[in-house]
Amino acid sequence: MKWLGLVLAALVGVAIWVRVAPSEPSRWHVPVSGEGDAAFKAGVRRVIAGDAAVMARLDAIIRATARTRVLAGSVAEGRITYVTRSALWGFPDYTTVELRDGQIAILGRLRFGRSDLGVNKARVDGWLKALAQG
């Protein structure tokens, strides 16, 4: 029984840390590296044609996403980084959207763990689908 209490205490500790760990803009609000689309175990990169007006439309779509907030940046700056938290545990995922030379580069990635199980890919692709429809 004592080990069960220790396991539960550890789970509560992890849950609290995931929700209160600071999100440092200097670590997450950085230029999107790489060219073209790519999927990774820990996230996804998408690159689309676009300008500041397209970026502003995408920004509105992203801001309307549940549990999502701006960490740093703006459309006017040409780079915005968002934090989206999972519903149950509150795990943070970071998405940076960057305007560069007639393109918009998007990088969604996890903070904790080694695999996001495709969550960032699904989220980013959903935003791009909404952008195309709208």
Name the one residue in this structure whose structure tokens are 């509150």: 90
Residues 84-122 have pLDDT tens digits of 999 888 899 999 999 999 999 999 999 998 999 999 999
Statement: the pTM of the whole predicted model exceeds 0.95: no
The dihedral through the CA atoms of 28, 31, 124, 119 has a sign that is: negative
Residues 24-133, CATH architecture: 2-Layer Sandwich (3.30)
pLDDT digits (tens, 9 = 90+) for 40-88: 999 999 999 999 999 999 999 999 999 999 999 999 999 999 999 998 8
Sign of CA dihedral 46, 42, 98, 93: positive
Structural domain spans, the chain: 24-133
